Structure 1
Amino acid sequence: MAKVRFLAHGRAWEVEAPVGSSVLQASKSVGAPEGDACGGVCACSTCHVYVTKGRELLSEAEEDEEDILDKAFDVRSTSRLGCQARILKDGDIEAEISRESLDAFYNEHPNVKDPRKG
């Protein structure tokens, strides 16, 4: 199991996730506000995160993921799509949820209060 920590809104969500699962699956299991408008099939960039720790524990980005990230906002060297980043090894992983992903999550879940909107 890998320990995955998600950061957003000055808050953290932590979960133990099995090897083979995706970063998106881990976020959903703990209720972290990561978007997934396409349902996690690499057709959008709403699950965009910045992996700030444990990149070596994840699968490499493939061409499809990189093509989608080319269309994402505020892409950084640590950017990954949560639906495509698979956990390959046990260890500690930390992911900051991007603004794009937060926007998507709150649009997808209008019943959840967006703490960015006072």
Structure 2
Amino acid sequence: MPTIKILPHPEYAPEGKSVSAPAGTSICEALLDNGVNIEHACDMVCACTTCHVIVREGMQSLNEIEEGEEDMLDRAWGLEPNSRLSCQAILAQQDVTIEIPKYSINHAKEGH
């Protein structure tokens, strides 16, 4: 079972955290199932960028990024070459290390 190492984030994992999940699980589902309440405003249907993560290690083990995800990522705050939407990034057998960006664009949360 692969492990997701979450780098420290002031809101979601102040001291960092490691969680395990079965292969075939999205990073977002794995985080939520293990008490890391990452935002996911669109209910994980690839229609927002609130679950944006940066994959620091293990990117090659995730499923290939699809065009719809690439299009949504163009709108994400703090986009980097190893950015993924955690609702679309599916775990394989290899461990991954992720960073949750400091900010996300969530108009509902921001009151817009």
TM over 0.5: yes
The whole-number CA distance in structure 2 between the counterparts of 1:63 and 1:100 is: 23
Matched, 1:22 2:26: yes
Instruction: State the 4+ residue runs in structure 1 displaced beyond 6 angstroms.
Output: none
Please report how far the alpha carbon of residue 100 of structure 1 lies from its aligned counterpart in structure 2 after TM superposition: 2.8
Q: Please provide the CA RMSD for this pair.
A: 1.7
From 49, 54, 60, the counterpart of 2:58: 54
Q: Deviations over 1:66-109 (max 9, x none)?
A: 00001111100110000000012x222111011234x75xx49x
**Residue 73 (structure 2) aligned to one of 52, 66, 69:** 69
Q: Which amino acid aligns with 1:91?
A: Q
Identity of aligned residues (%): 40
Q: TM-score, normalised by structure 1?
A: 0.80
Task: Give the number of equivalent residue pairs.
Answer: 104
Runs (5+) with no aligned partner, structure 2: none
Structure with bigger strand share is: 1
Larger helix share, 1 or 2: 1
Structure 1 alignment gaps of length 5 or more: 109-118
